[in-house]
Structure 1
Amino acid sequence: MTDRKGELAANLAKVEARITAACAAAGRKREEVTLIVVTKTYPASDVRILSELGARHVAENRDQDAAPKAAACSDLPLVWHFVGQLQTNKVRSVVGYADLVQSVDRSRLVTALSKEAVRQEREVGCLIQVALDAGESLRGERGGVAPGGIEELADLVAKSPGLRLDGLMTVAPLSGEYAGRQQEAFERLMDLSTDLRRAHPTANMVSAGMSADLEEAVAAGATHVRVGTAVLGVRPRLG
């Protein structure tokens, strides 16, 4: 446990230094960027150590991993983000612990989240996941709504009981126009965020960038970066 704490502390310090340097290079204040540690496949004991080390935001992408972990860490002052593709049959469980769902990409999911948030008397923050590799009528290969679908979905979230429209999220595309051009992809997301905020001024969260491309995300203006491997190490293989 002691060794693991030292390992995580060292990794967190390296990531913190990267974010600080990226903010300085972009002329931004360090406090403008929030680090979300993605703890998927790692145990609740790691989440507890991260909390001791000052982490406040953690993310999961699979409900079967997240639900027991969140329950085991319910005494900690953490904000839980759900970042994976979410099936409607998992909504009841996810609403039980997630403070924010970053992967909202279809109206059916909005309806299910709203119904469950009201039932559990919770307010759930929602980010519209944007698929920059999608055509105007298609979803992306990693989930997400095409840019042309943001406005309609955002309006639905904003008027749905129990939900709060917080902003936009993307994953750098593996194919299409922005493949290998992360900063341009993230700059496009910032443009879309500017458009969104004209109608929804408080939806100012922009979640972009991971271990390999957090610098590009910070340079583009992201408010939140999602970092897993650089903090926790290479994930163990499942199976």
Structure 2
Amino acid sequence: MSGFHVTEERKDELAANLAEVRKRIEAACAAAGRDADEITLVAVTKTFPASDVRLLSELGVADVAENRDQDAAPKAAACEDLPLTWHFVGQLQTNKVRSVASYADVVQSVDRSKLVAALDRAAGRAGRRLRCLVQMSLDEREGRGGAAPGDVLALADEIAAAGHLELDGVMAVAPLGGDPAEAFARLARIAAEVRESHPAARVVSAGMSGDLEPAITCGATHVRVGTALLGGRRAIVR
């Protein structure tokens, strides 16, 4: 089978998945009395090749996310000609900050003061401004990153005060085995507190393939969708 046919088949597959995800978003918004235009779909392309990013861009997806710098950096370079907003959503170690600051437009996983300072320095060196979200932990037992709820406001203040960072809002991952609606409601309360001090920080990134509906019900503005959009995890082929 020629590469052309493989690409066309993959594009058709992604188009069908995208249509289904958008349908779910529209239904969730209708049920919540919200406008679907309020929701930004972020395609989580981890473990998938740059060719899929190109196909998604052709299909109208404007936001993509990665969680590992070693995968994200070459993929972003391969797609630098595309009109995309790149989100970094994984746990970020300070030794990867300089690389991430060179291509990411948004860092969604800011969860400690040391990371705020490192991102600010790296963005300054790169001559860029980075949009940042404070990641809040909804289940401290899982070790998936995130600041304790009581630390979110202070971190938000630090980001807002940094010279090369912009505070966009908050992000969280629902706890495994828990009630996502209850977890996202807690996130919404903290997000409202952040907006009291920082009215422009309106982003609430919550909800993935399995729980985007309760996230939208609880006020999510961004949903991070991987499996429902791209299918099961596969090895990157560059």
Q: TM-score, normalised by structure 2?
A: 0.95
Residue equivalent to 2:63: 57
Matches within 5 A, 1:80-229: 80-134=86-140, 141-174=143-176, 179-229=177-227
Identity %: 64
> How far off its partner does 1:180 sit?
2.1
Unaligned runs of 5+ in 2: 1-6
Unaligned runs of 5+ in 1: none
Q: Structure 1 residue runs of 4+, over 4 Å off?
A: none
Residues in 2 aligned to 1:180 and 1:133: alpha-carbon distance in whole angstroms: 9
Q: Tell me the secondary structure at the aligned position of residue 97 of structure 2.
A: helix
**Which of the numbers 19, 24, 39 marks the counterpart of 2:45?**
39
Residue equivalent to 1:20: 26
Deviations 1:130-159 (A, max 9, x none): 00223xxxx861000010001111111111
Residues in 1 aligned to 2:22 and 2:36: alpha-carbon distance in whole angstroms: 9
Q: Tell me the secondary structure at the aligned position of residue 96 of structure 1.
A: helix
Deviations 1:49-76 (A, max 9, x none): 0000000000000000100000000000
Q: Tell me the secondary structure at the aligned position of residue 103 of structure 2.
A: coil
Distance 1:237 1:43, change over 3 A: closer
Residue equivalent to 2:230: 232
Residue equivalent to 1:2: 8
Q: TM-score, normalised by structure 1?
A: 0.94
Contact 1:140-1:146 at 8 Å conserved across structures: no
Over the aligned positions, Cα root-mean-square deviation in angstroms equals: 1.1
Q: Read off the aligned partner of 1:105 and give its amino acid letter.
A: D
Deviations 1:66-90 (A, max 9, x none): 0000000000000000000000000
Q: Read off the aligned partner of 1:98 and give its amino acid letter.
A: A
> How far off its partner does 1:187 sit?
1.0
Q: Tell me the secondary structure at the aligned position of residue 86 of structure 2.
A: strand
> How far off its partner does 1:128 sit?
0.3
> When the two structures are aligned, how many residues end up with a matched partner?
230
